[in-house]
Structure 1
Amino acid sequence: MKLVATGLLVLMAATYFVARQFESAYISAGFVRAFAEAAMVGGLADWFAVTALFRHPLGLPIPHTAIIPRNKDRIGDTLAVFLKDNFLTPAVVARRMARLDVAGAAARFLATQGSADGRLKKGASRMIADLLGALDPQEMGGMVKAAIDKRLRELDISPLLGRALAAAITDGRHLPLLDGIIKWAGKTLDGNEEVLRAMVHDRAGSILRWTGLDETLSDKIVDGLKKMLAEMAEQPDHPLRAKAEEGLAHLAIGLQDDPAMQARVNNIRDELLDNPAMRDWIEGLWESARAGLLKAARDPDAILAGKLGDTLRQLATTLEGDNALKVAINRFARRTAVGATASYGDGIVRLVSDTVRGWDADTITGRLENAVGRDLQYIRVNGTLVGGLVGVILHAVDVWL
């Protein structure tokens, strides 16, 4: 548009000089000359006016030119006041919010999230995946492991074990445990029979070894232990089983009430947590959890699957069908918007004003010129044409008079 407006001005200048050559010979040439002459004046005047808005014409520091750069701070303040007085007033916001069905929009939005293109589903998936990916695995892992370790060390496990054992004894769930211990003892005895015989042989006197009675004693001990374990396995009322059950009952009571026993259990707990194998297990637990979270986060369908998705759909249905709830939500949204406007309207105004003040002169000039510059060039074109028409009228009056 600058080229069009400038080209039209150059065309008028050329027309003026050509028309002057034929003015004496043709009466019509005088009208053409008058049109071109006045058009040049109008075009140049509007060029000066348009240019003076944004910069000094021809770079000359003419007073009252470069209006926008010189007054950018005042423009920013005026724009901020305009926004505040016409848009950011509680009355205006209340009228606008009264026409909005926030609850209905929220219900429709939530109802569409189960579809393949649900924005909430995709947005939540992308946000969680990016968040997990941005976290330092080592630092985050250290924090998680430290938190797990702290929670486990703070856990008073002894009373829990005592109550669990007491409940198991009451319900008879300890019997499989006793049976398992007896079977384990039998297998252990079978696997270590030679070790037991060697112990008896080593501790027997020379006379017993010379007479071979150590082997007889070993056989008696091994056979007696096997017979005792077999009887305990077959007889639910075996005295040793009763003693074992009595010991378990005392252990359950001690775990709940005996400070010394509780301290020993806590020491065992701490030793287990200090064990490198346990620390490796906790680290592996964190890595597995992190990998699982990343896998789920990268799957949009998994984010809103299950209970969360059902809850959102139920909420959407409730919002659609409960008029009283919709009225309450819309009222809350309206009051919130009005309150935010009353509380933060001045801050928004200051933000606009300070932002414009922070722009340099070239920035604000360029942005405004890009926004309205095309229409301003039309002013130059119109000024050229209107000036030419006025010139024709004046020349006609001069000829007729």
Structure 2
Amino acid sequence: MRLFATGLLMAMAAGFLVLHRLHTLYPGWDVPLGYAIAFTEAAMVGGLADWFAVTALFRRPLGLPIPHTAIIPVNKDRIADSMARFLRENFLTPQVVARRLRHFNLAAAAGGFLADPRSEEQSRVREGAANLFADVLESLDPDQMGGMVKAGLRRQLESVDAAPLLGQMLENAIADKKHLPVLEALLRKLGGVIEANEAMIREMIHTRANTIMRWTGLDEKLASGVLDGTYRLLAEIIVQPDHPLRGKIDEALATLAHDLRHDPEVQAKVARIKAELLANPAVGIWLDAMWERARAALLRAVRNPDKVLAGGIGESLGQLGHALADDPRLQLMVNRFARRTLVGVSTRYGGEIVRLVSETVKRWDARTVSDRIEGAVGRDLQFIRINGTLVGGLFGLAIHTVERFL
């Protein structure tokens, strides 16, 4: 388009020179040649003016230090702040988010998409959205974005009152007897550990036995009796649902669950343990690794959405889509939850999101900003040059016509 616009301007310039030459050679053609010359002359002025205007957005025309040119590179930081302010004021305020979502049935739209993800229209939408999301995700600074995600996750973990939550989970597990498989697995694991270290246990008993016991061989019988009794006890606890020790374990777990929910001292101890865990550098390393895995998996998923929707996952998502599309009560619940969640996100993290956009653009060098904006809107800007050339010529023709009749 740049070549076409420049070629049209050159054509007007060549036409202007040729017509002037013809006017010299054929004075009798003064009237028609006058109109044509007026058109080409005004077209050159319009084309050159618009070439200057378009070029001045991205660079200095002909490399000359003309004031108020190279507008985008010079004002890169101000443009970044303006973009962030525009996003904040028009998209990420709670009022705007709530208003836009009030009449939008997000659940039904998601349900239709999940129910038939491979329809032609859905495929185009999915592919376009996936590519856009992947491009945005790759263009953002992974360290800063990861820092924001990890900081948000850490704040959420710090704000969680872990003790009552653990107590409620434990009470529910005991009430539903979901702790029994875990208990049996632990008992089997304990038996396996004892069996694997049987030689060491026998040696410990042999070492601590007195000389008479070792001389008479009673230490070996004692070790065998201890081990056999332990194995028998573990087996009885596992196979007998009404074993007394099971009741003791259930009672101890119930007491622990009650203390987690109602004992301030236990709650303070759990909070202290949680704080120490979060302050441990190993937790930070774990969060870093989790974020990198999540980001890589997310990029793979959005770059290949068809693969993600294949197999059992796709079938399960299809069933969820039918439920969302056909159940008004489920739609109401999901839409209300989505609206509250997105409004909350815009309230808490809207400023951080737009600041991320602003700082990312500011870190780009001036050439990168110019190239990306010109690549996005450059075709339309060349149409401005073409229109300027043609409209300028038409205005020149009109002015020449008015001049002829004055």
Relative to the length of structure 1, the TM-score reads 0.50
TM-score (norm 2): 0.49
Q: Which structure has the greater CA radius of gyration?
A: 1
